Amino acid sequence: MRASSPRAGVGFIVLLIAGWGVAACGSIAPGPIESGLGCQGAPRQPAPPPLTATTAIVKYPVPGLGGIQQVVTGPDGNLWFVGGRGGPPNGLTEVVGRMTPSGQTTIYALPGNPGESFDSITAGSDGNLWFTEGAADAIGRLAPATGGIDTFPVPIPPPPASSQPRNTQTTDITAGPDGNLWFDVDQIAGASVMPDGYVGRITPTGIVTLFEVPGGGQPEGIQVGGDGNLWSRIAASEASSGCLPGCTPTAGLVMVTPAAAVTELSEDSPQFAGCSVGPDDDCWWMTSAGRMRRTTASGQVKDFPAFTTLGFWDPAHLVFGSDKNIWYVDGSNVMRMTLAGDVTRYQPPGANSGATWITTGPDGRLWFVEGASGRATIGAIRPPAQ
């Protein structure tokens, strides 16, 4: 679970790893293993493969920014990102940026200069870029042809009078199969994750509807699953809850259909279908234990070591490259996994502030963010020839 009070900079990130819900006993077995629906074997995870040197990575600094959260490919063939500009004493303000495939950038200030937070961006089916304004409880829309920005407030229900003051944030956003945009809303009160997070829907005209998570907890990382529904990972209702040392936490999830039916279940459930369909027609998912899970159409499940402990945060995000392999990041390096489960680790050259997000680019390269530690750099790696 990502948690923060309104921040003075994107570098302050807390990973509430213990905040994930149900715990499954046991450690992680080495090598590709057949997965059961629950506990794994006792052996420890193998050591990660050595870092691979490559000249296929190019890095593009973004001058004037204090950090970048996410980057996506826009309908105009450029890369679009959300980040923060400014710094002490007033903190960062959120901006949207455009980067050409050659690395030229343009920055767009947001109306009202909202503070920068755990913000997200996606390309909508209407040809616009849509993004969250976490510190402002709003959703933004940017027209790439003109740079014009519209902001739509998200009407968060007021907390009970007896509740602690809450830090409410719109976090992740994605384009739904119904032509609408879907997003997550988290609420934090002190050190506690409040039990009334929401999944939100906004139409291309700006009409917002919120759906409460039925079993409590905070949704994050919303994405379209292989079944065409919306899926978000769920954090536990209290930051202090979770499993005992030596256990493997299992994330709960909330599923919302485009018709707005809401269900909670576990990623280990046979009904889980929030994974991404790969070029092999199998379904792939980064588990909350940091393992890559493959589920075939016949229901066979196999877990592969992904060599990351960051399945709890944006590095749980994965994409399929033009080379038909799986690409993700581990908070430091860029990772490639073949469909057979073999992993290659690439370390970006120079100062590495931590690769925390990756996307497919318009030019066949994989584009990633190095920006969570206060630097603002976008990198690109060309998949090696097969």
Tokens 């994750």 locate to 193
Beta-carbon contacts of 259 under 8 Å, excluding residues fewer than 6 positions away, are none
Q: Cβ–Cβ contacts within 10 Å for residue 156, how many? A: 17
pTM value is: 0.85
Q: Which two tokens stand for residue 141?
A: 């829309």
For the chain, percent helix, then strand, then coil, each to nearest 5? Answer: 0, 45, 55
Beta-carbon contacts of 33 under 8 Å, excluding residues fewer than 6 positions away, are 40, 41, 302, 303
Sign of CA dihedral 192, 194, 199, 205: negative
Q: Which of 299, 326, 313 is nearest to 354 (CA)?
A: 313
Q: Cβ–Cβ contacts within 10 Å for residue 179, how many? A: 12
Calculate the alpha carbon distances from 250 to 74, 198, 286, 288 in Å: 34, 20, 11, 6
CA distance 179 to 52: 41
Q: Which of 306, 365, 359, 366 is nearest to 330 (CA)?
A: 306
CATH ID of 2-381, from 2.60.120.590, 2.130.10.10, 1.10.10.10, 3.40.50.150: 2.130.10.10
Q: Which of 165, 59, 153, 63 is nearest to 106 (CA)?
A: 63
| 386 residues of the chain, pLDDT tens digit each | 343 333 333 332 323 222 222 233 333 333 333 433 333 443 466 888 999 988 999 999 998 888 898 999 999 999 999 999 886 656 789 999 999 999 999 999 999 888 877 789 999 999 999 999 988 899 999 999 999 999 999 998 877 676 666 778 899 999 999 999 999 998 766 555 566 789 999 999 999 999 998 877 788 889 999 999 999 988 754 433 333 333 334 478 999 999 999 999 999 999 999 999 999 999 999 988 888 999 998 999 999 999 986 544 455 789 999 999 999 998 888 999 999 999 999 988 876 667 889 999 999 999 999 865 557 899 999 999 86
Residues in the chain: 386
Q: Which two tokens stand for residue 296?
A: 């075939």
Beta-carbon contacts of 371 under 8 Å, excluding residues fewer than 6 positions away, are 10, 65, 67, 68, 69, 83, 353, 356, 377, 378
Q: Which two tokens stand for residue 341?
A: 């489960």
- Tell me the domain boundaries of the chain: 2-381
pLDDT at 91: 75
15: helix, strand or coil: strand
pLDDT at 163: 65
Tokens 């379904």 locate to 283
Calculate the alpha carbon distances from 262 to 3, 24, 63 in Å: 24, 25, 42
CA distance 316 to 299: 22
pLDDT at 349: 84
Q: Which of 265, 363, 282 is nearest to 318 (CA)?
A: 282
* Burial bucket for residue 379 (CB in 10 Å: 0-12, 13-18, 19+): buried
pLDDT at 191: 57
